[in-house]
Structure 1
Amino acid sequence: MKSSFVYPIGVQGKPWGDQERKEWREQTRIKREYNVEVVPKIQALAKQYNVEQYGALSYDPERYPLFCIKNCDWDESKPTILVTGGVHGYETSGVHGALKFVETQAQFYSKHFNIVVAPCVSPWGYETINRWNPNAIDPNRSFYQDTPAEESANLMEMVKGLKTEIFIHVDLHETTDSDETEFRPALAARDGKELIEGMIPDGFYTVGDTENPQPEFQRAVIESVKQVTHIAPADSNNKIIGSDVVQEGVINYPLKALSLCGGLSGCQYGTTTEVYPDSPKVNDEECNHAQVAAIIGALDFGIAQLKA
């Protein structure tokens, strides 16, 4: 359904220029601190893991260093798994779910895999609770060569530097009520397009790759998350956020064509998680646990494939 809402920045129907992007950036505010809520948790893991800085954001390099966490007993004979969180910085459980996985589960799974975790790809977005970076660019639509999004460019360079194929990639996200109330209206205004109202699903779902859907892998993730939280139902048209539901709690996107983080590695098995933190049925800790459960489901499936 078309919306009568008019975004307060720009002229309706006209794409933003530099002035509108500047106006948008100036109305953002720091609402929480990366160096208080995230970095100390990362640094605390250095006792058990290799914590490496793989870059920094030029907006404020000292405030926004970028970290990845790796297992110490790296073994070239093992397959490598990648976990990414906070590509959209405002999606809180993506960041803290990634860290909770390292804190509670990574030691066990390092017996089977080399593990790389980038817990907060977009720290400016984390602090300002934003989907975009300061230039009004969505990092999760920016994983392509010569990308203008520093967040995406730094992560791609880090993954390239591993010099190994990625066996499993789990990209941790959330779908929030603010997607519909703020971020999609802002996107329509930025691009000079008409806003079509959508519906936020109540529950967890995953996004697979249209080109490499791996339905049994997606099912394993859903079954694991079911032990922690509820799965999003399809709407009356058998869709979730406008895409066909291909099995319970699963939709597919063309990840590479859309330049999404989930498509950056060319992994054998990949999934993008979507937690719904605004549901009255969940709390913040349950959302973090759901992200951990998704990773566990993915890695247990991977172990089974290696033994087959």
Structure 2
Amino acid sequence: MQNYAIGTPGKPWGTKEKELWLAAQVVQRSYHDEVVQQLMGIVPTGFKVVQYGSLPYDEERYPLYAIVPECFDSAKPSALVTGGVHGYETSGVQGALKFIRNNLLNYAKDINLVVVPCVSPWGYETINRWNPLAIDPNRSFYTDSPASESSQLMAFIASLEQTFTLHIDLHETTDTDNSEFRPALAARDGTTHDNWNIPDGFYTVANTTNPQLDFQKAVIDAVKVVTHIAPADSDGKIIGAQVVSEGVICYDKKSLYLCGGMTDAMYVTTTEVYPDSKQATPENCNDAQVAAVCASLNFIK
């Protein structure tokens, strides 16, 4: 792997290197136009948009929004859908918005649904995995987290006082994971990260301690109607993790401080769409995310 443009190989970044990295980031799309305006125009009957916070880098530019029921029904199970924890993973955000627009009402009578379509709006605008502090929000879901994206979402979910049965977190695996984000991570931490094979297709990440493989299979079976499922590599792995069933690997979500470990939900999955596939289009990727969300909700109805 080539050395990253910032920093000295083998030496973790200090303040200077992080400032150089931040100075190199540029806004490439509009959170307001592509997310906020879209969200405000698609709120279904029986739901409301709540602002649960804003990012300290620019509070006016980066308000944080969720869609919640106007009234929670204690007789129903509750489910959480999160997108855009990694802002550069576009279909996580746009797939969540498409689900709200076209499918949310189909589940309202059976499930208390909370949807947070874009957890990391600065990352969405700059097409970044990290936040401006060079911190990965998806490794930062813990008490006193330095990532505002993570800490504000955790506080909001806790304030709802709901026991969640399901949490589905919408992500992508992209070619830039190897060309940009893993090299940057290695440079920031002063370590060496080998390239891994980017899987061509959709897969899910279950929770090591409670994988619920029947649930994962239901998601995979629904998505394979929309797009292709990632095969295992020659070692029987996907992104370095053992494949435990078709298109499914496991991570210990709590110990890694992932968004998917934020709740104690019985059914948890992280989707991974591959937008750089020759077989994929942006709409196809969004549809795969929607199919995964719907299959998850159908499983707990």
TM-score (norm 2): 0.98
Match of 2:21 among 20, 24, 30: 24
Cα distance in 2, alignment partners of residues 230 and 263 from structure 1: 27
Match for 1:236: what amino acid? Answer: S
Preserved CA contact (<8 Å) 2:175 2:276: yes
Q: Corresponding residue for 2:280?
A: 282
Q: Corresponding residue for 1:233?
A: 231
Please identify, of 40-49 and 180-189, the stretch whose mean Cα deviation from structure 2 is larger. Answer: 40-49
Q: Corresponding residue for 2:40?
A: 43
Q: Corresponding residue for 2:9?
A: 12
Q: Corresponding residue for 2:99?
A: 101
Preserved CA contact (<8 Å) 2:43 2:100: no
Matched residues, percent identical?
A: 58
Q: Corresponding residue for 1:67?
A: 65
Preserved CA contact (<8 Å) 2:169 2:269: yes
Q: Corresponding residue for 2:202?
A: 204
Cα distance in 1, alignment partners of residues 218 and 187 from structure 2: 38
TM alignment of 1:132-211, pairs within 5 A: 132-211=130-209
Cα distance in 1, alignment partners of residues 8 and 68 from structure 2: 47
For the residue of structure 2 that corresponds to 1:231, the secondary structure is: coil
Preserved CA contact (<8 Å) 1:124 1:133: yes
Unaligned runs of 5+ in 2: none
Cα distance in 1, alignment partners of residues 288 and 70 from structure 2: 26
Distance 1:104 1:73, change over 3 A: farther
Cα distance in 2, alignment partners of residues 195 and 286 from structure 1: 31
Distance 1:81 1:47, change over 3 A: closer
Structure 1 residue 71: deviation in Å? 2.7
Match for 2:95: what amino acid? Answer: G
Preserved CA contact (<8 Å) 1:45 1:51: no
Structure 1 residue 130: deviation in Å? 0.2
Unaligned runs of 5+ in 1: 304-308
Structure 1 residue 47: deviation in Å? 5.6
Preserved CA contact (<8 Å) 1:147 1:153: yes
Q: Corresponding residue for 1:265?
A: 263
1:40-75 alpha-carbon deviations (Å, 9 max, x no partner): 011113463200000000100000000000133531
Structure 1's consecutive aligned runs of 4 or more residues displaced over 3 angstroms after TM superposition are none
Match for 1:69: what amino acid? Answer: I
For the residue of structure 1 that corresponds to 2:42, the secondary structure is: helix
Structure 1 residue 194: deviation in Å? 1.2
Cα distance in 1, alignment partners of residues 164 and 137 from structure 2: 20
TM alignment of 1:216-255, pairs within 5 A: 216-255=214-253
Cα distance in 1, alignment partners of residues 189 and 212 from structure 2: 33
1:225-273 alpha-carbon deviations (Å, 9 max, x no partner): 0110000000000000000000000000000000000000110101000
Cα distance in 1, alignment partners of residues 35 and 119 from structure 2: 11
For the residue of structure 2 that corresponds to 1:84, the secondary structure is: strand
Please identify, of 68-77 and 229-238, the stretch whose mean Cα deviation from structure 2 is larger. Answer: 68-77
Report how many aligned residue pairs link the two structures. Answer: 300
Distance 1:117 1:47, change over 3 A: closer
Cα distance in 2, alignment partners of residues 237 and 178 from structure 1: 23
For the residue of structure 2 that corresponds to 1:45, the secondary structure is: coil
1:143-182 alpha-carbon deviations (Å, 9 max, x no partner): 0000000000011011101101111000000000000000
Please identify, of 42-51 and 259-268, the stretch whose mean Cα deviation from structure 2 is larger. Answer: 42-51
For the residue of structure 2 that corresponds to 1:53, the secondary structure is: strand
Q: Corresponding residue for 1:306?
A: none
